[in-house]
Structure 1
Amino acid sequence: MYNQLQRLNGVATFALTVAFCLFVAISYVSDYTRPVDQGTAQVTVRGIKVQRGPTFPDAYDPKSRQSHYARLAMDIEVDLTRLFDWNTKQVFLMAVAEYATPTHPVNQVVLWDSIIQSPEDAEFKLKKYRNKYQFKDFTEKFGTKTANLTVYWDVTPYVGFLQTTRLGQTSQTFTIPEVSYK
Structure 2
Amino acid sequence: MHSSFTRLQNVFGFFTTVAFVLGAFIAATDLGSTRSPSGVIKTDNIQVVKGRPHYYSSKKEEYAIIRFSLEADLSSLFTWNTKQLFVYVTADWTGPGNTNNSAVIWDSIITNPSADHLQNIGPVAMKKLKRSAEGKAIAPERGILKLKNQKPKYQITHPSGKIAETSDVTLKLHYNVQPWVGLLTWNMDKSFGAWNAMKGGISDRFTLPALKTKDNKDKNSTKNKTKGKKP
- TM-score of the aligned structures, taking structure 2 as reference length: 0.67
- Percent of residue pairs bearing the same amino acid type: 32
Equivalent in 55, 59, 62 of residue 55 of structure 2: 59
As a proportion of its length, which structure holds more strand?
A: 1
Deviations 1:68-114 (A, max 9, x none): 11111111222212211111111111100000111452000000011
Q: Distance between the aligned counterparts of 1:170 and 1:30, measured in 2?
A: 23
Q: TM-score, normalised by structure 1?
A: 0.82
Counting matched residue pairs gives 176
In the alignment, residue 51 of structure 1 is paired with which amino acid?
V
1:9 deviates by 4.5
Provide the C-alpha distance between the structure 2 equivalents of 1:61 and 1:105, rounded to a whole number of angstroms: 27
- Counterpart CA distance in 2 for 1:105 and 1:168 is 26
The unaligned stretches of length 5 or more in structure 1 are none
CA distance in 1, matches of 2:69, 2:210: 22
Counterpart position of 1:97? 91
The corresponding residue for 2:173 is: 151
Match in the other structure for 1:13? 13
From 183, 191, 211, the counterpart of 1:179: 211
Structure 1 residue ranges, 4+ long, deviating more than 6 angstroms after superposition: none
Q: Which has the larger radius of gyration?
A: 2
Give the equivalent residue in structure 1 for 2:104.
Answer: 110
**Whole-angstrom CA distance in 1 between matches of 2:103 and 2:32:** 25
Residue 87 in structure 1 maps to residue 109 in structure 2: no
Q: CA RMSD in A?
A: 2.5
More helix by share: 2
2:201 aligned partner: 170
Change (3 A) 1:105 1:32: farther
State the SS of the aligned residue for 2:200.
helix
2:183 counterpart (157, 161, 165): 161
Give yes or no for contact 1:33–1:163 (8 Å, CA) kept in 2.
no
Would you say the 8 A contact 1:51–1:70 is kept in 2?
Answer: yes
